[in-house]
């Protein structure tokens, strides 16, 4: 049974509300971070004055891993229990990379690390959370919708809800609340284990991945394929380099023979299909960035996507670069990873069939009611937001509906022509 068939079985093929959105594993109403019907509140109180200037001084848009945390106390108003929880010694820093001074539509996000100063501490099953700034998404919905669709399609992805944020007593507004994808807690929640190998392709903060063999030196891979969760040089030699070596063979016959030994082909085609359908010019299939590769101890590599704030828009690519075989950012001449291009041709019919399957859940008749439900849920908080203009917010969401309709028509027409 396909994921689309399962969705139709469970939901009758009709529009469904916020509670049924693809939020990932183990989502129940008593999980305060990922309950889709709740909007919890975080209150950050920094321990020392002057934190803004210190975070600003240590903020490098092109370096995302080594930014300095400020110590703070976080008060969490738990919507599941109604209790107020106080968490001391939490690390807080800015996140993201955009040049915020250039646009009034940009607001900084925050990363909260509950184990930065208290090792091995967990906050409702996670070590870190991300309160996302706008970074080009004034709707504050694209990350939640796109990663929700990934999870719907069976691609394990960070869970996203929304939360309200106060900093030093000042109401900062409404923020998407996103799961951290590159730690043990994520792997345990989504895969039931955290052993194996895990690599993060960081894009702006590290480099884009061509998914091709580079050299015989494992250290040459580390700047692009950053090892995570106890992954080390030996793992690079044991699994990453052999996979990329297979991806670089000369003929399609050789590729078809070796690739299934290294990657879950069906899972990769599904992730690529969602990237194309959304569309997302900033993801693995188009720009070669913003994804992780996980290989379980006894399994094959799968893709874990993250950072989808530039998805669900038609403004970031040229018309001639918008197809399901050609999608790429307008700001890059050639960006698709070589392996992605080869897979789309080698498994052409399966890929087109997968695109149509994904497009079923992307149909405006399904997705627009989700957006309407989110808009209704979040509008009271947006009206209180000191950064957002609620009427502009609604106008941009109206445009989002039209973008979804146009993109859906495009991909269905193209995929139907090449599907089996």
Domain identity same for 230 and 352: yes
> Do 60 and 199 reside in the same domain of the chain?
no
Mean pLDDT computed over 208-228: 94
Q: What percent of the chain has pLDDT over 70?
A: 88
| Strand 109-113 to 84-95 pairing | antiparallel
Long-range contacts: 412-418, Cβ < 8 Å, 24+?
412/356, 412/359, 414/323, 414/324, 414/355, 415/324, 415/352, 415/353, 415/355, 415/356, 415/359, 416/352, 416/356, 417/352, 418/348, 418/349, 418/352
Asked whether residue 392 is domain-assigned, the answer is no
State how far the Cα of 173 lies from the Cα of 1, in Å rounded to an integer: 42
This prediction has a pTM of 0.91
Does residue 396 fall inside a structural domain? no
Same domain, 155 and 227: no
Task: Say if residue 236 is in the same domain as residue 329.
Answer: yes
Domain membership flag for residue 281? yes
β-partners of residue 213 are none
Mean pLDDT of 64-68: 72
Final residue in a domain of this structure, among 152, 179, 206: 179
Residues 44 and 173 in one domain: yes
Give the N- to C-terminal CA distance of the chain in Å, as an integer: 17
Q: What angle do CA 109, 139, 177 make, to 5 degrees?
A: 40
Considering its fold, how many domains does the chain have in total?
2
Average pLDDT, the chain: 89
- How does 359-377 read in b/e, with b if 16+ C-beta sit within 10 Å? bbbbebebbeebbebbbeb
373-377: average pLDDT = 97
Give the model confidence (pLDDT) of 255-310 as tens digits.
999 999 999 999 999 999 999 999 999 999 999 999 999 999 989 999 999 999 99
∠ at Cα 75 (71, 80), nearest 5°? 140
Do 200 and 325 fall within a single domain? yes
Report the distance separating Cα 50 and Cα 47, nearest Å. Answer: 10
Owning domain of residue 104: 33-179
Cβ count near 222 (within 10 Å): 16
Domain boundary among 135, 150, 179: 179
- Residue appearing with tokens 């789309």: 344
Same domain, 165 and 245: no
Give the lowest-confidence range in 15-19, 144-148, 230-234: 15-19
| Same domain, yes or no: 206 and 348 | yes
Q: 243 and 300 in one domain?
A: yes
Same domain membership, residue 140 and residue 212: no
Of 95-104, 198-207, 380-389, give the range with the top mean pLDDT.
380-389
Statement: residue 404 has pLDDT above 50: yes
> What secondary structure does DSSP assign to 234-281, as a single string?
HHIIIIIHHHHHHHT-SSHHHHHHHGGGTB-HHHHHHHHHHHHHTT-T
> Which of 314, 337, 361 corresponds to the end of one domain?
361
Same domain (yes/no): 239, 125: no
Same-domain pairing of 247 and 301? yes
Whether 161 is covered by a domain: the verdict is: yes
Q: Answer yes or no: is 366 within a domain.
A: no
Pick the closest to residue 135 from 288, 280, 310, 279 (CA basis). Answer: 310
Give the C-alpha separation, 58 to 230, whole Å. Answer: 26
pLDDT of 95? 86
């Amino acid at each position: 049974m396909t994921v689309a068939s399962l969705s139709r079985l469970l939901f009758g093929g009709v529009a469904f509300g916020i509670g049924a959105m693809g939020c990932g594993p183990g989502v129940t109403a008593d999980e305060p971070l990922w309950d889709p019907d709740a909007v919890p509140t975080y209150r950050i109180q920094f321990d020392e004055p002057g934190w803004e200037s210190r975070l600003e001084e240590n903020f490098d848009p092109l370096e995302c891993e080594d930014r300095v945390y400020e110590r703070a106390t976080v008060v969490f108003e738990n919507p599941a229990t109604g209790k107020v929880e106080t968490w001391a010694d939490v690390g807080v820093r800015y996140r993201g990379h955009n040049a915020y001074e250039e646009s009034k539509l940009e607001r900084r996000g925050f990363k909260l690390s509950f184990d930065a100063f208290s090792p091995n501490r967990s906050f409702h099953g996670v070590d870190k959370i991300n309160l996302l700034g706008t970074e080009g998404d004034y709707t504050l919905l694209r990350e939640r919708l796109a990663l929700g669709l990934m999870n719907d399609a069976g691609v394990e992805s960070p869970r996203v809800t929304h939360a309200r944020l106060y900093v030093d007593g000042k109401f900062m507004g409404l923020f998407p609340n996103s799961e951290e994808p590159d730690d043990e807690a994520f792997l345990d929640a989504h895969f039931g284990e955290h052993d194996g190998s895990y690599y993060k392709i960081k894009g702006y903060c590290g480099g884009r991945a061509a998914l091709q063999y580079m050299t015989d030196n494992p250290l040459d891979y580390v700047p692009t394929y950053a090892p995570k969760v106890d992954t080390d040089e030996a793992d690079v030699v044991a699994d990453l380099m052999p996979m990329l070596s297979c991806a670089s063979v000369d003929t399609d016959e050789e590729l078809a023979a070796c690739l299934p030994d290294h990657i879950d082909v069906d899972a990769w085609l599904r992730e690529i299909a969602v990237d194309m359908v959304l569309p997302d010019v900033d993801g693995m299939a188009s720009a070669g960035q913003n994804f992780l590769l996980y290989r379980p101890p006894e399994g094959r590599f799968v893709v874990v996507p993250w950072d989808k704030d530039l998805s669900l828009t038609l403004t970031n690519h040229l018309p001639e670069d918008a197809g399901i075989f050609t999608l790429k950012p307008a700001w890059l001449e050639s960006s698709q990873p070589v392996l992605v291009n080869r897979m789309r041709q080698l498994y052409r019919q399966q890929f087109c069939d997968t695109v149509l399957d994904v497009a079923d859940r992307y149909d405006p008749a399904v997705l627009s009611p989700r957006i309407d439900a989110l808009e209704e849920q979040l509008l009271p908080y947006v009206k209180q937001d000191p950064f957002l203009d609620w009427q502009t917010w609604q106008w941009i969401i109206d445009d989002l509906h039209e973008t979804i309709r146009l993109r859906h028509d495009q991909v269905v027409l193209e995929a139907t022509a090449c599907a089996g």
